[in-house]
């Protein structure tokens, strides 16, 4: 009799245990919900965009756009300026000439991260300011060995028209002098 009672109530106990566990798990994760992609208009196929512009990094003079914000005594001794950190708000133009149409800005940080060559850690946003792209941005997190002919940096995300963006940027130096570097960018991104 006791044996019968035991085998009948055990599954019930198990079921209620699983039920209670499920409820408490659902409760502790109630800040995350699965939703349908259509609610954000993401049911359409992704677009691939090619974005072309010139980046102007001006490190001195009247119209300086990049400033050194940190370094160490070792940076000054290092051939690669290892450890120095720059903050930029660099104009992006449609043509190589700084007087051509400004299409956006590159805002963020580049920091010397290599002891053996000129290699920057790039952490920045391209913020576009023209037409329907005004206010939309792309985020870059990459490595920039500025003496290489072409550098590739990942595009890790975006905002506005570039939500869910992913892709890469190819950078090649167009011209350089003591005060200004002009870099041609070809950016390829998937986005909705």
Interaction site with ligand NAG (CB under 6 A): 61-63, 129-130, 134-135
Q: Which is nearer to ligand NAG, 9 or 130 (CB)?
A: 130
- Whether 85 and 100 have beta carbons less than 8 Å apart is answered as no
User: With respect to ligand NAG, which residue has the nearer C-beta, 37 or 135?
Assistant: 135
In this structure, the strands spanning 47-58 and 119-128 are: unpaired
Q: In whole angstroms, what is the distance from residue 170 CA to residue 175 CA?
A: 16
d(CA 156, CA 143): 13
Q: Cβ 65 to ligand NAG, closest distance in Å?
A: 10
CB of 152 to ligand NAG, least distance (A): 30
Decide whether 171 or 180 has the Cβ nearer to ligand NAG: 180
Q: Which of 185, 179, 144 is nearest to 58 (CA)?
A: 179
User: Between 3 and 62, whose beta carbon lies closer to ligand NAG?
Assistant: 62
Q: How far is the CB of 48 from ligand NAG (least distance, A)?
A: 25
| Pairwise CA distance, residues 90 & 92, whole Å | 7
Longest dimension (CA), the chain: 96
- The alpha carbon of residue 31 and the mean position of all alpha carbons in its chain are separated, in whole angstroms, by 25
Smallest distance, ligand NAG to C-beta of residue 95, A: 14
Report in angstroms how near the CB of residue 60 gets to ligand NAG at its nearest.
9
R_g of the chain, CA atoms, integer Å: 26
- Nearer to ligand NAG by Cβ, of 37 and 61: the residue is 61
Q: Which two tokens stand for residue 192?
A: 């909705």
């Amino acid at each position: 009799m006791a044996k019968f009672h035991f085998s009948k109530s055990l599954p019930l106990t198990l079921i209620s245990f699983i039920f209670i566990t499920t409820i408490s798990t659902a409760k502790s994760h109630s800040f995350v919900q699965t939703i349908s992609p259509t609610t954000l208009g993401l049911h359409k196929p992704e677009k691939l965009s090619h974005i072309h512009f010139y980046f102007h990094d001006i490190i001195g003079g009247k119209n300086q756009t990049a400033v050194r914000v940190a370094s160490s005594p070792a940076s000054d001794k290092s051939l690669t300026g290892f450890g120095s950190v720059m903050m930029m708000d660099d104009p992006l133009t449609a043509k190589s000439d700084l007087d051509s149409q400004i299409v956006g800005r590159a805002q963020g940080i580049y920091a010397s991260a290599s002891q053996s060559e000129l290699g920057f850690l790039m952490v920045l946003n391209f913020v576009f300011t023209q037409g329907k792209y005004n206010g939309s941005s792309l985020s870059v997190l990459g490595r920039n060995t500025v003496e290489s002919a072409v550098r590739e940096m990942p595009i890790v995300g975006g905002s506005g028209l570039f939500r869910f963006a992913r892709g890469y940027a190819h950078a090649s130096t167009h011209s350089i002098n003591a005060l200004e570097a002009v870099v041609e960018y070809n950016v390829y991104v998937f986005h909705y």
